[in-house]
């Protein structure tokens, strides 16, 4: 018989997630629904629901917010506007803190380009698996990206230069 500390998923669940080689377990939590686990590693966040696993590197997550009322962790993936909601146990708020810290560590610098119909966020991100640096562009829904091309181009050039990225031919 194997005794696990509270919050540590059983070995067969850990084996089911496709975590990249070299990742270390930071924290995990069994959710209130009883069949979902969130597993934070040094390289990303695994969601294991009914033995179906998804792994998201930290740089593939745009936002993670703990909604204190009801202890709900809202996670928005890159390119999505609607967060996925995870009802965590009140005792597992440490997981939310670790998710927030790891997500913050993947963002080197951001620049917000304000537009009449919203904003475009240019982020200089770091891939935790290989430490490579790249630019990510987050366009708010309803923003006319074409109308803001010059301002976005300038922001991308500034951040790319700051991150040591080669110039992009426009």
Instruction: Give pLDDT tens digits for 12-21.
Output: 666 767 667 7
Instruction: Give pLDDT tens digits for 71-103.
Output: 899 999 988 889 999 999 888 888 999 999 999
Round to whole Å and give the CA distance between 168 and 37.
41
Instruction: Give pLDDT tens digits for 102-130.
Output: 999 999 999 998 888 888 888 899 888 88
| pTM (predicted TM-score) | 0.78
Please report the DSSP string for 108-169 in residue order: EEEEEEEETTEEEEEEEEE-TTT--EEEEEEE-TT--GGGGHHHHHHHHHHHHHHTTPPPPP
C-alpha torsion angle, residues 164, 165, 166, 170 (rounded to 10):
-130
- Residue-averaged pLDDT of the chain: 83
Tokens representing 93?
């708020």
User: For residue 168, what pLDDT is reported?
Assistant: 62
Residue 57: C-alpha distances to residues 20, 92, 158 (Å):
9, 21, 25
Average pLDDT, integer, range 45-53: 86
User: For residue 99, what pLDDT is reported?
Assistant: 93
Which domains does the chain possess? Answer: 11-102 (2.30.29.30), 107-162 (no CATH)
SS3 content of the chain, % helix, strand, coil (to 5): 25, 40, 35
């Amino acid at each position: 018989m194997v005794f696990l500390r509270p919050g540590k998923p059983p070995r067969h669940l850990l084996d089911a997630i496709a975590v990249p080689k070299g990742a270390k377990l930071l924290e995990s939590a069994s959710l209130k629904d009883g069949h979902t686990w969130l597993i934070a590693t040094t390289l990303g966040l695994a969601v294991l629901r009914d033995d179906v696993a998804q792994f998201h590197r930290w740089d593939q997550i745009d936002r993670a917010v703990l909604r204190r009322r009801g202890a709900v962790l809202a996670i928005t993936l890159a390119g999505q506007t609607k967060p996925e909601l995870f009802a965590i146990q009140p005792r597992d708020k440490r997981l939310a803190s670790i998710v927030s810290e790891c997500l913050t560590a993947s963002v080197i610098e951001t620049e917000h380009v304000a537009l009449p119909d919203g904003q475009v966020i240019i982020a200089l991100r770091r891939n935790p698996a290989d430490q490579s640096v790249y630019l990510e562009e987050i366009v708010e829904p309803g923003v006319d990206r074409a109308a803001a091309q010059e301002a976005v181009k300038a922001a991308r050039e500034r951040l790319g230069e700051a991150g040591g990225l080669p110039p992009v031919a426009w």
